[in-house]
Homo-oligomer: A and B are copies of this chain.
């Protein structure tokens, strides 16, 4: 076991890297979140996406409350080693806390951000009893 692959990553001043979660089949971009070395190592170990929550300053096991776990299929790194892609299977088909498949549901139209994706499940149902 070597941590060399982690050392090759260019972490930012906060020790983080942006991680894009992408549906491994459709290519749909689901979300962008952040990881530190521990989160990335754990993601590999547990074969699911585990992020670093910048707002809560703690590890965030995606799906821990909603059940919407992201099963890991592949990890990709870019040419300057400062961004990664997680190719994932999105359990439940919902990545966003608003109940949509993707967090990128706003599209710019005539200089307005317009929601273009449907809510698949009421967030109150998703997080029912988990608050």
A131 in the interface (beta carbon within 8 A): no
Contact present for B77 and A108 (CB under 8 Å) = yes
Name the contact of A74 in the complex, choosing from B26, B80, B107 (C-beta under 8 A). B107
Chain B residues with CB below 8 A from A85, complex form: 29, 104
How many copies of the polypeptide does the oligomer hold?
A: 2
Q: Which of A101-131 contact B (CB under 8 A)?
A: 103-108, 111-113
Question: A106: shortest Cβ distance to chain B, in Å?
Answer: 4
Report B-chain residues with C-beta under 8 Å of the C-beta of A104.
Answer: 76-78, 83-85
Chain B hits for A22, CB < 8 A: 29
Give bound CA distance, A26 to B27, whole Å: 8
Identify the 10 closest CB pairs spanning chains A and B, nearest first.
A27-B27, A32-B83, A78-B103, A77-B106, A75-B108, A76-B104, A79-B103, A78-B104, A5-B111, A85-B104
